[in-house]
Amino acid sequence: MKVSTIASARPIVVAITMSMAFATVSLADDIGFEELLARVGAGNLPTGTSVRLAQVEAFSGTAYGPDQADAQFVGKTFVAMSGTPGNSGHATFVARNYYGIASSVTPGVSQIHLYQADNFVQSGYLRLGSGSAVPPLVAPTGVRVFNNSWIGSTGQVVYDNETLRRADFAMNRDGTLFCNGENNGSGSVMQPLMSEGYHGLGVGRMDGQHSAGLTPAIRDGGGRTKPEIVAPGSGASYSTAVVASCAALLYDVAQVDPILSTNLDARRPAVVKACLMAGARHRDGWTNNPATSGATRGQTASPLDSLYGADLVNIDEAHWILTGGEVTGTSTVPGVDTTTSAAWAYPPVSNTSSYFRFSVGEIAQEVSILATWHRSVPTTFGTPTMPNYDLYLHSVSGTTLGSLVGNGGVGVFGSGNVASVSAVDNVEHLFLKGLQPGEYVIEVRRMSASTSPSLAVAWNIPDYLPPAVPGDTNGDGRVDGTDLATVLSSWGLNIPAADFDGNGVVDGADLSTLLGNWG
């Protein structure tokens, strides 16, 4: 493939525009920022200080950068990656929502790398047209999130697919997350760049005025649901920046939190994506169309809502899930609880299944569980390997699972789905209401021989019932030999049922607690 051929098929980039801003107070309320502030306190609020960002923009005239003299960017350093950036009104408003001092959830971000979209796709970063032996450039040091508030196409399917493969390759390699805007307008045509990507987050508007539906058959992984998430904004460009700012906040937490900072899994893009999607607020009318009766009641092959994806980003819930910590999955059904109410996992992709057990002490009004994974992109950028996983919620007695699909779930949960079995999406999602008290197991089941380079699971389960007595791992009201066996078999692992002090590992302190409450 000649560079000159690519040059003649440069991405046709269309900037997404809007006519007015949304109010900061309304934005903060819509996305759960006020709740986060109230929960953690202003002095403990992460602001993005440890994270650097990248902003990719289409040309507006001859400019692609924000107004660096804007009052919201005081103290910030801009690194121009595609020549003189100039002053674009579109880029300025995106930037305010992305890292602005007064309009974003990450005002502490201090360094931003600026790319022009055509240059970003070609020589400036992804290096489309440089040949199969030439990978994308490595992301600038410290950059965690790329915001793509632009849409477009190279005009040729083969180049569009290669662009998206290169983007996925870069996210796998560099641990970055791309947030990609949808086209504006209900019923508008979805554009391949960048919203039809596999690993990133396709972002729409909370009012539903964006392109949505299934990726076309000509795309790798055709038939996947887009967008994955929505946010406030009268233009998809600005909704995308809101989600990108939330992602940056989670990366910051993963890098500065005393416990999470020692765990590299917490800053993996699939984990950040899973926390954002599992924590999304499912508004009235949201559905992933599960069967509501019969033998397949509670099962769906469409994990997301066809218009809103996982629905409205909620930074408070996403933060709650991420800071719940990583839980270790088991390859066989566990006999005791292994997870807390809000947490995440990065289980081995080699497992045929990974299991997580929890208890519900009173009716859980809403339960959200989500798995997402990456595809394997070869270094030649040829055909990627597409793994497939399914996601289930089971009842459990001892270590025997009971199916909640069909009649097994009648009277156990009121509505929603307990099985997500898409054959094409790289997301599976369970969302159900009215889960009755009892013992349950989450199962992530590998359905194909191929494995993913990155698999993440996240969940938010209200009304979790922890052991009433420190040292009582199985909730039977006694601290005895059964509990001691659980602690010893969990030694050195993050098993919440046996981690009595909540420091993320079962160790001598937990053993001392158990022995102190013996009998």
Q: Assign residue 394 a region (left: φ > 0; alpha: ψ between -120 and 50; beta: otherwise).
A: beta
Nearest-angstrom CA–CA distance, 135 and 126: 7
Which class would CATH give 3-273?
A: alpha beta
| Tens-level pLDDT at each residue, the chain (519 residues) | 222 223 333 444 443 333 223 335 577 889 999 999 999 888 888 899 999 999 999 999 999 999 999 999 999 999 999 999 999 999 999 999 999 999 999 999 999 999 999 999 999 999 999 999 999 999 999 999 999 999 999 999 999 999 999 999 999 999 999 999 999 999 999 999 999 999 999 999 999 999 999 999 999 989 999 999 999 998 999 999 999 999 999 999 999 999 999 999 999 999 999 999 999 999 999 999 999 999 999 999 999 999 999 999 999 999 999 999 999 999 999 999 999 889 999 999 989 999 999 999 889 999 999 999 999 999 999 999 999 999 999 999 999 999 999 999 999 999 999 999 999 999 999 999 999 999 999 999 999 999 999 999 999 997 654 446 788 886 656 788 888 988 998 899 887 778 888 788 899 998 999 898 887
Write down the architecture of domain 324-465 according to CATH: Sandwich (2.60)
Phi, psi angles (nearest 5°) of residue 160:
-60, -45
Q: Which of 274, 497, 276, 311 is nearest to 391 (CA)?
A: 274
Cβ atoms of 176 and 143 within 8 Å: the answer is yes
The residue extents of the domains of the chain are: 3-273, 324-465, 477-519
Place of tokens 């045509």: 189
Burial 75-86 (b: 16+ CB within 10 A, else e): ebebeebbeebb
Non-local CB neighbours of 314 within 8 Å, separated by 6+ positions = 31, 32, 279, 280, 281
Query: Could you check whether 324-465 and 477-519 share the same CATH topology?
Result: no
Closest CA to 346 of 331, 323, 328, 359: 328
CA distance 64 to 124: 14
Top-tier CATH class for 477-519: mainly alpha
